[in-house]
Structure 1
Amino acid sequence: MIEKSLKVAVAVPCQLGESPVWDDRQECLHFVDILSADIYSYYPADKSLKITSLDNPVGAIAPCQDGCFLAAMSTGIYRIALPQGDAKFLAQPEPHAPENRYNDGKVDPSGRFWIASMHTDEKEHRGAMYVLYPDLTFKKVLDETTISNGLDWDESQRRFYHVESDKASIRRFTYDSIQVGITDLKTVVTFDEDEGVPDGMTLDNEGMIWVAHFGGGCVTRRHPDTGEILAKIDLPVKQVTSCVFGGKQYNDLYITTAAKGLSDEELTNQPQAGYTFVLENLPYRGMKANKFIQIA
């Protein structure tokens, strides 16, 4: 157990808070509420909050080199200024699947955007994962997925980690940054039913996995080879969706949650469901978010 005090960072009850990203240029946390089609920008220095409202659900955001962000909306991938909200369409890897939306995504160490899709009703094997290149072409790297979630890279170990929530597992691949491929699948962790479901995740600078337990009410730090739990953070809400390190020293852990699907009784018992939390000054550090290479 980590001996630190959990604080509320943003007291807004998101239906499906997700995709937290620390912006080192604006020194703020951006995150999305997928079901409300909103992007939130939280500035810890003065505790202010700005909201960018969009026309379509946005599953993930990721920083670009020029200071803008990529936003994976249900209608495609856009380049967007935050918090102004000016958006420009870039690409649509799935024009053939209007019943899908994009879920989790991040930029790899080489500056390419990896983004996963899923069926809006979570139908099996309808999703895929794509890589968007700086020239706005893309390729499919995984097919017939159901609920793709957290992803991250350990470049020094040539490892790519990916959560399959429907299989309650965290998987590891060998990552080829030149060919932009993933091979040698190994399941690192399979969650027991009482642990909830693995959701969003991030790596710290020691290569350890931090993963949110949706339905399990916690975040755990796990060893990438054994799956052993090295640390645990309990939250006052059950539906924990993702986490990311931020702050000047990258030792503040921000955690998003969701109120989606909770009964009236559950909402009464979990009045902070959907809030975004922070655990400050941890003895662990994260890393800067990779940035999408400047678009010509």
Structure 2
Amino acid sequence: MIEKTLKVAVAVPCQLGESPVWDDRQQCLHYVDILNSLIYSYYPADKSVKTTEVSHAVGAIVPQQDGTFLAALSTGIHHINLPHGEAKFLIQPEPHAPENRFNDGKADASGRLWVATMNMQEQKNKGALYVVYPDLTFKKILDETTISNGLDWDESEGIFYHVESDDAIINRYTYDTVQVGIANRQKVATFTKEEGVPDGMTLDVEGMLWVAHFGGGCVTRRDPETGEVLAKIELPVKQITSCVFGGKNMNDLYITTAAKGLSEDELSQQPQAGYTFVLEDLPYQGRKPNKFVQIA
């Protein structure tokens, strides 16, 4: 049981809030509203929010070692300087698929970008998972995915975690950091309809999974070895999209949500749909984000 009070961090409703990442340099939280092509930067010290508008749907933002960011827009991977918003095109792994957009992305401990694509209409098996190297070359890691989410690694164990939301499954793979590949897929957990759909995910320093339940109205902490739910955080909204640790001690849990697709009646019952929430000073600690190393 988590004996902490859930608070609203940002009372701005996102259609599809996603990709939260803690900026340990600026001590702020960055996250996106995919469908409104917006990037938000929340500074908890003074509770201010800065908004950056981009040109296309933005599926993920990933920090770089120089303090700037990568933004995975539907038109390709861009370099972006927050909160100013100047975007410079870098690469597009899928020029042949204009009906796709990027969905989730993170850097691994070696400074490579892992980023997923999906069909904008959520058609099955139209997406893929790519790794982008520091020289901006790339290769496909998984093919014929539908909705990739929850990318994360337990580097000490050589494990890569991947959520396939369309199948409501969390998978784990052995991870070869030298050859940059994954193998030996195993199911960590399969979600029931009542539990909702697994969405964004992060690991704590103990290697436990924190999983957002889209449609399930909660975040759970799970043991990846057994799938057992160790803790549960209930939220006043149903569509929970992702979560990440932040704060000076990396023990504040930020949670993004979505208002996408809700009826007027549902919105009246969930007036905070799309808000970003926080649980502060938890007895659990997250890890600082990996950063992309661009040498091109």
- Which TM bucket (shorter chain)? over 0.9
Aligned equivalent of 1:113:
113
| Aligned residue runs from structure 1 range 1-296, under 5 A | 1-296=1-296
Count of aligned pairs: 296
Question: Taking structure 1 as the reference length, what is the TM-score of the superposition?
Answer: 0.99
Provide the rounded CA distance (Å) in 2 between the counterparts of 1:263 and 1:275. 17
Provide the rounded CA distance (Å) in 2 between the counterparts of 1:135 and 1:58. 22
Provide the rounded CA distance (Å) in 2 between the counterparts of 1:113 and 1:21. 14
Amino acid at match of 2:261: G
Amino acid at match of 2:60: A
Amino acid at match of 1:192: T
Provide the rounded CA distance (Å) in 1 between the counterparts of 2:272 and 2:295. 40
Instruction: Return the offset for 1:294.
Output: 3.3
Instruction: Return the offset for 1:188.
Output: 0.4
Over residues 202-246 of structure 1, what are the superposed CA-to-partner deviations in whole Å (9 max), with x where a residue is unaligned?
000000000000000000000011110000000000000000000
Provide the rounded CA distance (Å) in 1 between the counterparts of 2:54 and 2:104. 17
Provide the rounded CA distance (Å) in 2 between the counterparts of 1:203 and 1:185. 18
Amino acid at match of 1:5: T
Amino acid at match of 1:38: L
Over residues 114-163 of structure 1, what are the superposed CA-to-partner deviations in whole Å (9 max), with x where a residue is unaligned?
00000000001000000000000000000000011111000000000000
Asked if structure 1 preserves the Cα contact closer than 8 Å seen for 2:135 and 2:294, the reply is no
Instruction: Return the offset for 1:193.
Output: 1.0
Q: CA RMSD in A?
A: 0.5
Instruction: Return the offset for 1:295.
Output: 2.8
Provide the rounded CA distance (Å) in 1 between the counterparts of 2:76 and 2:88. 10
Provide the rounded CA distance (Å) in 2 between the counterparts of 1:115 and 1:293. 15
Over residues 84-110 of structure 1, what are the superposed CA-to-partner deviations in whole Å (9 max), with x where a residue is unaligned?
111111100000000000001100111
Provide the rounded CA distance (Å) in 1 between the counterparts of 2:170 and 2:105. 15
Q: Which runs of 5+ in 2 are unaligned?
A: none
Aligned with 2:266: secondary structure? helix
Provide the rounded CA distance (Å) in 2 between the counterparts of 1:110 and 1:175. 12
Over residues 55-82 of structure 1, what are the superposed CA-to-partner deviations in whole Å (9 max), with x where a residue is unaligned?
1000001000011101000000001001
Instruction: Return the offset for 1:32.
Output: 0.0
Provide the rounded CA distance (Å) in 2 between the counterparts of 1:83 and 1:205. 29
Moved over 6 A (4+): none
Question: Taking structure 2 as the reference length, what is the TM-score of the superposition?
Answer: 0.99
Provide the rounded CA distance (Å) in 1 between the counterparts of 2:253 and 2:172. 23
Provide the rounded CA distance (Å) in 2 between the counterparts of 1:266 and 1:207. 36
Aligned with 2:267: secondary structure? helix
Provide the rounded CA distance (Å) in 2 between the counterparts of 1:182 and 1:153. 11
Amino acid at match of 1:49: V
Provide the rounded CA distance (Å) in 2 between the counterparts of 1:12 and 1:235. 16
Over residues 11-45 of structure 1, what are the superposed CA-to-partner deviations in whole Å (9 max), with x where a residue is unaligned?
00000000000000010000000000000000000
